[in-house]
């Protein structure tokens, strides 16, 4: 087993990583709960088996006066947590420049460090943030005598963070993944939106005018506000061998748009998204699991391609080494989720 000591040394940017190897665990939804709310804490035993990842949130959406109660509530959850259930237990701690984060990390590692899988760090702006958290965790793990290193997950939610995304992903072997934080990112970029993720009816393109008649009625189509950032994030995660996630979708009632946003992220390469309400758990589970028809098609292609080289035609569609690899991605995911 790797010891926390292996995770102490931050990687040089671009250095090959001799120890990173994230074992597959279903991660289709990171379900947020507020541990300062005793009613939510009481629901954890029922909720845990229904989600891939349960996250005790200590940061935004927890009022300043409830920060300590949230930390204590999560410690209570961690103490009675049964890791053999397979669900991962994560936390989102407060930002590294906040007055609460030091106590968050010190308390959580000492009290429930052996139950937590991943620490989500908000508002990460560069490798220096990851190096700081990496070193601090190493010290706290050593003091607590932990045998298993805690992993780190960064939220991409500032313009500077997006600009430095590759170095963030490569900053430490502890890095498990990245999430898009569309609400904070929108504010930081001074975008003119007032929503938590999702689209905007004003962000659209319009058909060209027929015969140059600009007064004629013309169809419009909404565009995905998050396409660039999600694609950038997926590539950076691919370079580092870590996992990209879409973040929150705040309009809980709009399950259709939530599903569309999640699916765009899935198709672009994300492995999961946040769920902020129980209704979003099922959406994420469905969207981030390959559809049976897609799996059946992938099987046909792989069977038809034999050793995976050359070219064949299937239903009028050309298949070759590259489509074979695409199909393997779908089959690998389907197989891993079925295990």
DSSP per residue over 128-194, as a string? HHHHHHHHHHHHHHHHHT-SSPPEEEEEE-SHHHHHTHHHHHTS-TTEEEEEE-HHHHHHHHT-S--
Nearer to ligand GLV, 26 or 247 (CB): 247
Coil, strand or helix: which one is 115?
coil
* 313, β-bridge pairs: 318
Binding mask 142-171 for Mg ion (x = CB under 5 A): ---------------x--------------
**Distance of closest approach, residue 59 Cβ to Mg ion, in angstroms:** 7
DSSP per residue over 32-97, as a string? EE-TT-HHHHHHHHHHGGG-SEEEEE-STTS-GGGHHHHHHHHHHHHHT--GGG--EEEEEPPPTT
Nearer to ligand GLV, 94 or 319 (CB): 94
**Distance of closest approach, residue 186 Cβ to Mg ion, in angstroms:** 10
What does 247 bind: Mg ion, ligand GLV, none (CB cut-off 5 to 8 Å by kind)? ligand GLV
Q: Residues 68-103, buried b or exposed e (16+ Cβ, 10 A)?
A: ebbbebbbbbbeebeeeeebbbbbbbbbbebebbee
Q: Does residue 197 belong to the site contacting Mg ion (CB under 5 A)?
A: no
**Distance of closest approach, residue 250 Cβ to ligand GLV, in angstroms:** 8
Nearer to Mg ion, 57 or 323 (CB): 57
Nearer to ligand GLV, 276 or 333 (CB): 276
Nearer to Mg ion, 194 or 217 (CB): 194
Q: Are 205 and 220 within 8 A, CB to CB?
A: yes
Q: Does residue 141 belong to the site contacting Mg ion (CB under 5 A)?
A: no
* 120, β-bridge pairs: 92, 153
At 190, phi and psi to the nearest 5?
A: 60, 40
Q: Does residue 125 belong to the site contacting Mg ion (CB under 5 A)?
A: no
Which residue matches tokens 């393997």? Answer: 328
In angstroms, how far is CA 108 from the centroid of its own chain?
21
**Distance of closest approach, residue 273 Cβ to ligand GLV, in angstroms:** 11
Tell me if 68 is assigned to a ligand binding site.
no
How many residues touch Mg ion under the rule CB under 5 A: the total is 3
- Hey, how many other C-beta atoms are within 10 angstroms of the C-beta on 195? 15
Length of the chain (residues):
339
In the set 34, 129, 134, 184, which binds Mg ion (CB under 5 A)? 184
**Distance of closest approach, residue 243 Cβ to ligand GLV, in angstroms:** 17
**Distance of closest approach, residue 247 Cβ to ligand GLV, in angstroms:** 5
**Distance of closest approach, residue 196 Cβ to ligand GLV, in angstroms:** 6
Dist. CA 76–CA 73, nearest whole Å: 5
Nearer to ligand GLV, 275 or 323 (CB): 275
Tell me if 92 is assigned to a ligand binding site.
yes
Q: Does residue 181 belong to the site contacting Mg ion (CB under 5 A)?
A: yes
40: CB partners within 8 A, 6+ apart: 33, 34
Nearer to ligand GLV, 8 or 32 (CB): 32
What does 4 bind: ligand GLV, Mg ion, none (CB cut-off 5 to 8 Å by kind)? none
Residues in touch with ligand GLV (CB under 6 A) = 60, 155, 157, 181-184, 196, 247-248
What does 113 bind: ligand GLV, Mg ion, none (CB cut-off 5 to 8 Å by kind)? none
Tell me if 21 is assigned to a ligand binding site.
no
Residues annotated in the binding site, as ranges? Answer: 92, 157, 184
Binding-site annotation: residue ranges for substrate: 92, 157
Where does this chain bind Mg ion (CB under 5 A)?
A: 157, 181, 184
């Amino acid at each position: 087993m790797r010891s926390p000591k292996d995770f102490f040394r931050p990687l040089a940017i671009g250095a090959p990583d001799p120890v990173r190897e994230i074992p597959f665990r279903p991660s289709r939804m990171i379900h947020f709960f507020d541990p300062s709310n005793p009613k939510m804490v009481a629901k954890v035993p029922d909720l845990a088996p229904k989600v891939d990842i349960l996250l005790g949130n200590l940061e935004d959406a927890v009022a300043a006066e409830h920060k300590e109660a949230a930390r204590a509530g999560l410690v209570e959850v961690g103490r009675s947590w049964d890791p053999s259930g397979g669900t991962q237990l994560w936390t989102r701690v407060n930002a590294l420049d906040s007055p609460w984060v030091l106590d968050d990390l010190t308390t959580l590692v000492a009290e429930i460090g052996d139950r937590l899988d991943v620490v989500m760090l908000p508002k990460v702006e560069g490798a220096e943030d990851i190096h700081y958290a990496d070193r601090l965790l190493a010290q706290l793990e050593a003091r607590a005598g932990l045998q298993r290193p805690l992993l780190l997950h960064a939220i991409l939610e500032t313009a500077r963070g997006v600009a430095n995304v590759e170095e963030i992903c490569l900053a430490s072997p502890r890095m498990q993944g990245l999430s898009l934080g569309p609400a904070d990112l929108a504010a930081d970029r001074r975008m003119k939106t007032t929503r938590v993720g999702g689209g905007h009816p004003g962000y659209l393109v319009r058909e060209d005018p027929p015969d140059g008649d600009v007064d004629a009625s013309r169809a419009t189509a909404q565009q995905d506000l998050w396409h660039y950032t999600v694609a950038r994030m997926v590539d950076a995660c691919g370079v580092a061998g870590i996992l990209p996630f879409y973040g929150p979708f705040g309009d809980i009632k709009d399950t259709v748009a939530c599903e569309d946003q999640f699916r765009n992220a899935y198709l672009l390469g994300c492995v999961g998204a946040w769920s902020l309400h129980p209704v979003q758990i099922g959406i994420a589970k469905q969207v981030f699991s390959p559809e049976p028809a897609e799996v059946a098609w992938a099987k046909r292609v792989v069977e038809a391609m034999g050793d995976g080289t050359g070219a064949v035609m299937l239903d009028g569609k050309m298949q070759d080494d590259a489509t074979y690899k695409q199909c393997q991605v779908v089959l690998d995911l389907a197989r891993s989720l079925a295990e």
